[in-house]
Amino acid sequence: MSSRWAGTTVAFLVIASAAIRLAASRRFEPGWIAPDEAIYSLLARSLWETGSASLLGAGGYYALVYPALIGLPLTLVEFDTGVAIVQALQALAMSATAAVAYLWGRRALGPAWALVSAALVVAIPGLAYSGLLMTQSLLYPLTTLALWALAVALERPTLLRQGVALGAIALVVLTHVQGLALVPAVVLAIALQCACERSLDPARRAGRVLGALVGGGLLVVAAAALAGRWSDPLGAYSAAVGGYELDAVAADVAWHSAGVFVLVAGIPLVALGLMLVQCLRREERDPAAVALVTTATAWLVCLVLEIGIFASRWVGHIAERSLLTLAPPIFLVFGLWLSRGAPRPRIWTQAVALVVAIPAVLLPVSRYAVQEAALDAFSFIPLWRLASITSEPTLEVIFPLVAGALVAAAVLVPRRALAVLPILVLAVLVTLSFVSSKEIAQLSRADRVWVFDVGDPRWIDAAADGPVTYLNVSSGFPAGVWKHLFWNRRIDTVAELPEAAAVGPLEPTTVSPRLDGVLLDAGGNRLDPSLVATSADFELAGERIGQAPRSTDLSGLSLWRTERPLRLRTRRSGFQPNGDILGEAHVRVYGCNSGRLELTLLGKQGEPVLLTVNQIPRQRLTVPWGEVWSGAIESPPDADGGVCVFGITSPGLLGSTVIEWIPD
């Protein structure tokens, strides 16, 4: 195959992949991955609007490169149009990784096998992240570029090549902190080069790279300390340092090794192990090929260790999205192995096959192939769907059999039929990609309906005419805050009650109501926004100017034009989103004086109902099934502007429609 024909084919491959991924992306609902997508959209808008990447004023380093890419379309044009532009850019960026891989591999592999590797690069399910506002869309091509630059520098370490490699690594780190794994990967790659050459010359030749890595790291820390902007060089990720348990780390590193197996469909991992053996035995003499193998191996080891350690404390399942950048170099080594006629020395082949197969075969797949892991592991979505269609025991049987069959294929397929192997890998990856993209569209749409029902998620922007404060009162659904921040640009401040679920890394103002309902922060200062969005279970002093519908599982939100100072009038608890009461419900009235709580109750089980005020019984009644009772509970005679607590208790299911405080 001529290089010109292969290059033209790669260009077509990139365009076709970008078009297919963009078409699939348009069926996704952005904002699905919370809080990540909201964080990156806020950082992007802040960077382009203020010149500083922050989260509603909260500090902490996250990334610079990705917000810089997506910020302009999200800031300058209407939201839907901006998201569509971002999705197109991301589909092109991730698909362009195929071109990077081809250019990297064509000299060592030859144009034909480099083209095969490039095709595999764009077949993995993880390219679906191009439809969501996630850094993976940039990490994928940029990390591949950095690894290519590192391999070139290892092959012939001129000053220019080493400088390019260091610059590319810095760019990856500025895109996501996980890129720091490239630093030990450089050291390990150099050590592997020394082992392959059986000499310390590679370490001496790469002295500039090692010195620059250490010196550059120290300069960054010193600059950050002098600027007084970072209390820790890792910024918002500083909490991830320390606090790990050895047994949990060992297990997660092993299971993330199995995650890599799923990511690349197994066979290329066997090829990587066998090519490393060839290099260590000095049976592979091409410097470009050796540099490719050592770079791919070093990155595999360092990234699996980094992500496995991190996931053992912070994730709880396989964080496949953080492993995506392993695919391009592994696929290139797979192509290299095929181009060399798939060397398989018997003893080494058996050893490599066991090392690759054991984590995959022993993986407790039903624990990780679950809906909760769908956000982080797209390749596992089809496995979860298989378990839901059949059963978990069926998945536990099928998965290790398929994993074993893939390893067996890598070992047993005769050389005259080697073309079967990349076709098999491609078929597995395309199947996983098709199923996962379809499920992502359904899951993201269902998530939007769950939060916003059939309403417009931008309802706050539609109703507000100025900056809005979001008052977070939920103790169990912080993702709802992030989803509203993602869709509504008018929200510029977040406040929260002390019992509300944390929405870190935001730094919301914590407020508490006085007896008269006035909300004060920890310093006793009043909160005085003119527009406030909060739970529909809260009534504020002022005018309700907008309301989101209640969904099946969540209470809706209301937008208020408030009186000043901001004051809470009533707070409901114990009511289901549809108004049902299961056991006991309360209405807390602040600044309670003479007045009444008007009620309309619906009989659903015909059980007795007790109405109380400040835990004192006021009325006992029964609402028969299918009937309606309307009435009121008067405030206590001694109400003096404090808090009155009205209670509604029934041992059975009780419905309600009107629950309203009417002051005299």
Q: Residue 284: phi, psi to the nearest 5?
A: -110, 115
The DSSP bridge pattern shows strands 468-472 and 531-535 to be parallel
CA separation for the pair 562, 472 (Å, rounded): 16
Out of 426, 447, 468, a domain closes at 447
Q: If pLDDT is split at 50, 70 and 90, which confidence band does 56 have?
A: confident
* Residue-number span of the structural domain to which 526 is assigned: 453-566
pLDDT tens for each residue of 136-167: 999 999 999 999 999 999 998 888 888 899 88
pLDDT at 28: 96
Ranges 24-28, 268-272, 553-557: which has the least confidence: 553-557
Mean pLDDT computed over 641-645: 94
The residue behind tokens 């197996």 is 261
CA separation for the pair 185, 325 (Å, rounded): 13
Mean pLDDT computed over 9-36: 95
pLDDT tens for each residue of 199-233: 888 888 776 666 666 566 555 545 544 444 444 55
| One domain, residues 482 and 421 | no
Encoding tokens for residue 100?
Answer: 């990077």
CA separation for the pair 157, 151 (Å, rounded): 9
pLDDT at 238: 64
Residue 92 pLDDT exceeds 50: yes
pLDDT at 470: 95
Instruction: Return mean pLDDT, the chain.
Output: 91
pLDDT at 130: 97
Q: If pLDDT is split at 50, 70 and 90, which confidence band does 4 have?
A: confident
Specify the number of domains making up the chain. Answer: 3
| One domain, residues 306 and 360 | yes
Ranges 239-253, 268-282, 558-572: which has the least confidence: 239-253
Q: If pLDDT is split at 50, 70 and 90, which confidence band does 501 have?
A: confident
Out of 396, 424, 447, a domain closes at 447
| One domain, residues 284 and 206 | yes
pLDDT at 8: 92
pLDDT at 449: 87
| One domain, residues 561 and 591 | no
* Maximum Cα interatomic distance, the chain, rounded to a whole number of Å: 95
Helix (H, G, I), strand (E, B) or coil at 554: coil
Encoding tokens for residue 289?
Answer: 């090929």
pLDDT at 229: 46
Out of 381, 416, 447, a domain closes at 447
pLDDT at 1: 63
Closest CA to 605 of 579, 623, 619: 623
Whether residue 529 is preceded by a cis peptide bond, meaning omega within 30 degrees of 0, is no
Ranges 275-284, 364-373, 502-511: which has the least confidence: 502-511
pLDDT tens for each residue of 526-570: 988 999 999 989 999 999 999 887 665 567 899 999 998 899 999
| One domain, residues 126 and 229 | yes
| One domain, residues 439 and 583 | no
C-alpha distance from residue 356 to each of 151, 308, 518, 559 (Å)? 24, 17, 63, 56
| One domain, residues 57 and 193 | yes
| One domain, residues 224 and 238 | yes
pLDDT at 209: 66
| One domain, residues 606 and 486 | no
pLDDT at 413: 95
Closest CA to 294 of 161, 195, 219, 386: 195
pLDDT at 224: 46
Amino acid identity for residue 276 in this structure? L
| One domain, residues 544 and 589 | no
Whether residue 637 is preceded by a cis peptide bond, meaning omega within 30 degrees of 0, is no
pLDDT at 230: 45
User: Could you tell me the pTM of the whole model?
Assistant: 0.90
C-alpha distance from residue 88 to each of 14, 22, 26, 63, 100 (Å)? 13, 6, 10, 21, 19
Closest CA to 557 of 425, 453, 631, 648: 453
| One domain, residues 102 and 245 | yes
The residue behind tokens 């058996």 is 350
Mean pLDDT computed over 640-659: 93
Helix (H, G, I), strand (E, B) or coil at 98: helix
CA separation for the pair 600, 490 (Å, rounded): 36
CATH code of 623's domain = 2.60.120.260
| One domain, residues 533 and 402 | no
Mean pLDDT computed over 284-296: 96
pLDDT tens for each residue of 333-343: 999 999 999 99
Mean pLDDT computed over 88-99: 97
Mean pLDDT computed over 23-29: 95
